Amino acid sequence: MTTPHFVEAEDPANPGWRSWSLSDPTRFNTLLGPMLYRVDGHTVRVRITPEHRHSNLQNNVHGGALLAFIDVALFAAARGFGLITAGTAV
Torsion of the alpha carbons at 9, 15, 17 and 23, rounded to the nearest 10: -20
- Please report the pLDDT score of residue 3 as a whole number: 63
- SS3 of 6-24: the string is EEEEECCCCCCCEEEEECC
**Longest Cα pair distance anywhere in the chain, in angstroms?**
47
* Domain assignments of the chain as residue spans, ordered by start: 6-80
- Please report the pLDDT score of residue 86 as a whole number: 63
Alpha helices in 6-90 (DSSP H): 63-80
> Which tens digits make up the pLDDT trace of 71-88?
989 988 888 787 876 656
Residues in the chain where the model's pLDDT stays below 50: none
Strand order in the sheet with 6-10: 6-10, 18-22, 35-40, 43-48
Total residue length of the chain: 90
